[in-house]
């Protein structure tokens, strides 16, 4: 190896020896990780810590931009002027890295990016000085320009992805080191020197790519932890723990600065009925929808208020620097928006209302608990006044307490009796839905029962615990019937409850005869029975005949049978009808028999004859008076 005797350094054109190259490789890698650590901290200060102070933020960004450019150019100049030989490889790479890495900075403006690109071009041209007519110079600029456009357009898809990051900057390093002219900034280029220079740059790129990735993942984890700690996981409203922390601070700040503070406590009306009817998953959907609706309203008012979920269906809105007069339009907008909205509960759409209690801070409030207690008292006053109302400082100011957004619903048991036995005995307990009609003060029993399976099975479990007969009929919607997972789901429930001797699934909204036949076989494989309900015995005779070989039972409404008889639609004798049902071993159930008068009508002979040997139903509501008449 040729040595410069005056300095003891390798002569120009001679590569670094192995140990010196390894030392420089280590130094450049350590520098790169340290540089991005401080640069990331500066970015955090500019965009997050002082993001709400534009002047300070721009000063930090400008300092970072100028500092990176000055440092990068200075390192290149040191490599050229101080170490005019391969010892300067390290400084050339440090300068190149400092200028090119900053091209990936997040959240910068286009003018910042172009200024950084100009600095890269300045150093690039310095290395090609005297060789601008060389084709390699033109090729290197074209490649650099293409890479610069890719970085600007896709930097967010490159920054934190190791393979993409290393791949792109590897091309930049190869473009720079392999296309340099023979004499470049104090270097006499050879393939080995180009390799040593590129390897140092590559080492820095690999180290920083992994560092960026790890730092980003740590930041994401911190954000997730912060989200978990401060936000409700279901609704994304702020959590109760955050409520206690932030509202206490807001109360103390308002006290010290002599500013007003208003709090609104709100609650979803009749939420228990929503859970009972649509299941807890449906209730969760409602909670999410309410939180989104309220958040949208608060955003419409400039996000001057914060939303917190403080209980199951309870929320609080805190409005700093506002008394009730200033806060009331926002509160009423929240209340009105919910009343007018439509919310999902599973596949169903429901209408909802909320009750609210609104108070502002007074001198007698010693702490935040006093303010919260008065807001809660206002909420219960709204509930007492019929719900769907707003109480402000103890006075009801808005509401529609007569309006009930949803009917009160509950699940009851309908007893099925065998009329052939003497005395008549109960054969099954049927799970049905009852809806309380407030204007008429009565319970109605809708024909269409759309209940989640989990809700019905929960009720069945309670029936079994109450020692019912062990034979249960429950309803299936068409969607549940066609769902391929339903038979196995119900069979697992039956297997875990030995007291359940028989489970019959009743289908009201009927699909096609072919679908009924195909799906019924799947239920039979698990020992489950299928019964079709609400049939017109003579208007739907074609469908009935098609499914008789596969179904286990048919349910007719006595009123529809009687109406068909009176209209002369009956073409089949009673005995023929009963023999047809017996041939296929199909159980026939007749419901809707409330009074004896139903049987002494023009169609009484056919109806009464049909009832011989056929089971009938009568409602039996545990815990409630029998309203069957």
The residues that are catalytic are 313
Residue 17 per-residue DSSP state? P
Alpha helices in 449-591 (DSSP H): 453-465, 478-482, 486-495, 513-524, 541-547, 558-566, 574-583
CA distance 282 to 122: 63
Percent of the chain that is helix, strand, coil (3-state, to 5): 55, 20, 30
Cis peptide before 423 (omega within 30 of 0): yes
Instruction: Check: CB of residue 158 under 8 Å from CB of residue 51.
Output: no
Tokens at 76, concatenated? 């290149």
- Backbone φ and ψ for 178, nearest 5 degrees, come out as -85, -15
CA distance 596 to 608: 11
Closest CA to 485 of 511, 523, 514: 523
CA distance 29 to 52: 35
Instruction: Check: CB of residue 438 under 8 Å from CB of residue 404.
Output: yes
Residue 559: strand, helix, or coil: helix
Burial 61-96 (b: 16+ CB within 10 A, else e): beebbeebbeebbebbbbbbeebbbbbbbbbbbbbb
Please list, in sequence order, all residues whose beta carbon lies within 8 angstroms of the beta carbon of residue 227, skipping any fewer than 6 positions away: none
Closest CA to 196 of 14, 72, 5: 14
> Count of H helices and E strands in the chain?
19, 21
DSSP E strands in 82-163: the ranges are none
CA distance 193 to 92: 12
Closest CA to 538 of 514, 554, 519: 554
CA distance 165 to 209: 6
Residue 226: strand, helix, or coil: helix
Please list, in sequence order, all residues whose beta carbon lies within 8 angstroms of the beta carbon of residue 215, skipping any fewer than 6 positions away: 40
The 3-state secondary structure of 375-397, one letter per residue: HHHHHHHHHHCCCCEEEECCEEE
Residue 493: strand, helix, or coil: helix
Please list, in sequence order, all residues whose beta carbon lies within 8 angstroms of the beta carbon of residue 282, skipping any fewer than 6 positions away: 274, 275, 345, 346, 348, 452
Closest CA to 179 of 120, 129, 132, 139: 139
Closest CA to 564 of 546, 590, 587, 537: 537
- Backbone φ and ψ for 200, nearest 5 degrees, come out as -65, -45
Please list, in sequence order, all residues whose beta carbon lies within 8 angstroms of the beta carbon of residue 351, skipping any fewer than 6 positions away: 341, 342, 343, 405, 406
Instruction: Check: CB of residue 287 under 8 Å from CB of residue 279.
Output: no
């Amino acid at each position: 190896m040729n040595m410069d005797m005056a300095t003891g350094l390798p002569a120009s054109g001679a590569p670094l020896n192995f140990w010196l190259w390894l030392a420089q490789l280590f130094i450049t890698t350590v520098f790169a990780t340290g540089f991005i650590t401080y640069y990331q901290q500066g970015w955090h200060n500019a965009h997050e810590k002082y993001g709400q102070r534009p002047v300070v933020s721009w000063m930090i960004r400008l300092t970072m931009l100028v500092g990176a450019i000055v440092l990068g150019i200075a390192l290149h100049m040191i490599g050229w002027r101080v170490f005019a030989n391969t010892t300067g490889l390290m400084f050339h790479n440090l300068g190149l890295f400092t200028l090119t890495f900053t091209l990936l900075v997040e959240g910068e403006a286009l003018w910042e990016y172009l200024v950084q690109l100009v600095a890269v071009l300045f150093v690039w041209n310095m290395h090609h000085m005297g060789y601008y007519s060389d084709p390699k110079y033109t090729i290197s600029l074209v490649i650099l320009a293409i890479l610069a456009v890719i970085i600007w357009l896709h930097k967010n898809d490159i920054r934190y992805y190791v393979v993409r990051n290393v791949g792109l900057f590897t091309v930049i390093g190869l473009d720079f080191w392999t296309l340099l002219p023979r004499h470049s900034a104090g270097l006499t280029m050879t393939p080995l020197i180009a390799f040593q220079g590129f390897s140092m740059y590559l080492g820095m790129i690999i180290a920083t790519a992994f560092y960026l990735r790890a730092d980003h993942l740590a930041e994401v984890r911190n954000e997730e932890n912060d989200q978990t700690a401060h936000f409700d996981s279901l609704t994304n409203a702020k959590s109760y723990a955050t409520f206690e922390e932030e509202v206490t601070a807001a109360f103390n700040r308002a006290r010290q600065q002599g500013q007003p503070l208003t709090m609104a406590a709100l609650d979803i009306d009749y939420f228990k009925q929503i859970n009972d009817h649509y299941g807890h998953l449906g209730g969760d959907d409602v909670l999410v929808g309410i939180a989104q609706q309220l958040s949208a309203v608060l955003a419409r008012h400039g996000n001057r208020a914060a939303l917190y979920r403080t209980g199951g269906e309870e929320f609080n809105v805190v409005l700093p620097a506002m008394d009730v007069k200033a806060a009331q339009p926002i509160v009423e907008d929240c209340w009105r928006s919910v009343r007018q909205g439509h919310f999902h509960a599973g596949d169903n759409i429901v209408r909802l209302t909320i009750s609210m209690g609104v108070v502002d801070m007074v001198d007698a409030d010693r702490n935040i608990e006093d303010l919260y207690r008065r807001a809660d008292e206002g909420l219960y006053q709204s509930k007492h006044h019929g719900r769907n109302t707003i109480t402000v400082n103890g006075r009801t100011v808005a509401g529609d307490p007569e309006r009930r957004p949803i009917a009160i619903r509950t699940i009851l048991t309908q007893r099925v009796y065998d009329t052939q036995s003497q005395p008549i005995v109960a054969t099954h307990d049927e799970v049905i839905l009852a809806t309380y009609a407030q204007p008429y003060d009565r319970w109605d029993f809708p024909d269409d029962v759309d209940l989640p399976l989990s809700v019905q099975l929960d009720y069945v479990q309670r029936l079994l615990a109450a020692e019912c007969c062990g034979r249960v009929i429950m309803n299936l919607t068409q969607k549940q019937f066609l769902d391929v997972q339903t038979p196995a789901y119900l069979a697992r429930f039956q297997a875990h409850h030995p007291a359940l001797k028989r489970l019959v699934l009743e289908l009201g909204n009927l699909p096609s005869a072919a679908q009924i036949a195909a799906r019924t076989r799947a239920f039979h494989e698990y020992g489950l029975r299928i019964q079709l309900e609400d049939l017109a015995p003579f208007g739907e005779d074609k469908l009935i005949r098609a499914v008789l070989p596969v179904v286990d039972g048919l349910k007719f409404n006595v009123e529809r049978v009687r109406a068909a008889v009176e209209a002369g639609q009956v073409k089949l004798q009673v005995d023929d009808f009963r023999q047809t049902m017996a041939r296929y071993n199909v159980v026939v159930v007749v419901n809707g028999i409330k009074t004896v008068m139903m049987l002494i009508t023009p169609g009484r002979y056919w109806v009464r004859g049909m009832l011989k040997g056929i089971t009938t139903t009568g409602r039996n509501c545990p815990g409630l008076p029998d309203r069957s008449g």
